[in-house]
Amino acid sequence: MTAKLISGIEIAKEIREELTAEVAELKEKHSIVPGLVTILVGEDPASQSYVAAKNKTAHALGIHSEQVTLDPETSEEDLVKLVGKYNNDPKVNGILVQLPLPKHINEANILLAIDPNKDVDGFHPVNVGKMVLGEQCFLPCTPHGILEMLTRSGVETSGAEVVIIGRSNIVGKPIANLMLQKRDAGNATVTLCHTRTKDMAAHCRRADIIIAAVGVPKMVTADMVKKGAAIIDVGVNRIGKASNGKAILAGDVDFDAVKEIASCITPVPGGVGPMTITMLMKNTVQAAKMAAGLV
Ligand code: GUN
């Protein structure tokens, strides 16, 4: 079997078209332009490219976007102050501080400093708590994007055995929580595997859906996959450099071998990545509507 490709590029395009229309309507009917600020501390090349992609997408959709790049030595106090400034700026509806931060800055303190109503990443403890309770909130972008991909590709999650590999705060923990809830792309039986899991392959072989978010290139091999399973690959691993200087990327899944067994699979690049950025835009538009009292 050769699996159907779940294209994040195609699904993201669909959602971006919906958002472009929504942004145009907000401007025309309410004179509102949603605003996003991205804050990057330091010069990590991967983070630089993610932040650049977020700003480029915002502009393309008609969202006002500001990119702030700070010296790697910036103090925690100065970063908290800057976040406070944007909390009080009515032109800014969404604040994104790119993670990871340099070691001398306490990530939790920065996330806590962001106004929960501008927390378009969905990382503030208030939004995390609401998410776990199934209340209305900003959902974290990568998990939210995965839910949309599953729904829009017609992957049945109700009653499905879902195995998630990786327990990060950004992907593993939230997607596990969301998929067990009574919601679209939910009602699943969820197993969350991590570095201390005894027999990862045995768990994976039972799975109707595998979500890999570990950061280990090609860790999920064909012998770990049940025939007909759906595969979501969140990994973006730089495994080398092409002659043109561009990074060569690989996912957490051995794509070429696994596609022969799975029913559907996301590629890397062009899978989950474009969805993460798109859901950030959706949250920013939502934040603008909330600020204007439209929702
Ligand atoms: N670093 C990796 N993914 C993300 C994300 O979704 N948001 C932020 N702020 N930083 C990240």
- CATH class in words for 31-117: alpha beta
- CATH class in words for 141-273: alpha beta
- Ligand 1 site, residue 286, Cβ cutoff 6 A: no
Which of 54, 79, 98 for mutating ligand 1's site (highest number of atoms within 8 Å of CB)? 98
- pLDDT tens for 206-259 read 999 999 999 999 999 999 999 999 999 999 999 999 999 989 999 999 999 999
Instruction: Report the b/e string of 164-186 with b at 16+ CB within 10 A.
Output: bbbbeebbbbbbbbbbbbeeebb
Instruction: Compute the average pLDDT of residues 62-74.
Output: 98
At 1 the pLDDT is 65
Single out the catalytic residue among 119, 121, 208, 233. Answer: 121
- Ligand 1 site, residue 127, Cβ cutoff 6 A: no
Confidence of residue 17 (pLDDT cuts 50, 70, 90): very high
CA of 98 to the centre of ligand 1 (A): 5
- pLDDT tens for 114-126 read 999 999 999 999 9
The span from the CA of 177 to the CA of 81, in Å, is 32
CA of 19 to the centre of ligand 1 (A): 21
Instruction: Compute the average pLDDT of residues 260-267.
Output: 98
Percent of the chain with pLDDT over 70: 100
35 by Cβ neighbours in 10 Å (0-12 / 13-18 / 19+) ranks as buried
Q: What atom of ligand 1 comes closest to residue 142's alpha carbon?
A: 6
Q: Residue 162 in 3-state DSSP? A: strand
Instruction: Compute the average pLDDT of residues 60-85.
Output: 98
The span from the CA of 157 to the CA of 217, in Å, is 26
At 154 the pLDDT is 98
Query: Does the active-site annotation cover 54?
Result: yes
Residue range(s) in the chain whose domain bears CATH number 3.40.50.720: 141-273
- Ligand 1 site, residue 121, Cβ cutoff 6 A: yes
Q: What atom of ligand 1 comes closest to residue 97's alpha carbon?
A: 9
At 127 the pLDDT is 98
- pLDDT tens for 129-171 read 999 999 999 999 999 999 999 999 999 999 999 999 999 999 9
> Rg for the chain (alpha carbons), in Å?
19
- pLDDT tens for 26-55 read 999 999 999 999 999 999 998 999 999 999
**DSSP class per residue in 257-293:** HHTTT-SEE--SSSSHHHHHHHHHHHHHHHHHHHHTT
Which of 41, 50, 54 for mutating ligand 1's site (highest number of atoms within 8 Å of CB)? 50
Residue range(s) in the chain whose domain bears CATH number 3.40.50.10860: 31-117
Contact status, residue 145 vs residue 278, Cβ threshold 8 Å: yes
CA of 31 to the centre of ligand 1 (A): 30
Is residue 180 pLDDT above 80, yes or no? Answer: yes
Alpha helices in the chain (DSSP H): 8-30, 45-61, 76-87, 107-113, 125-133, 141-152, 172-180, 200-206, 255-258, 272-291
Query: How confident is the prediction for the chain on average, in pLDDT?
Result: 97
CA of 100 to the centre of ligand 1 (A): 8
Confidence of residue 287 (pLDDT cuts 50, 70, 90): very high
Torsion of CA 259, 263, 267, 273, to 10 degrees: -150
CA of 111 to the centre of ligand 1 (A): 12
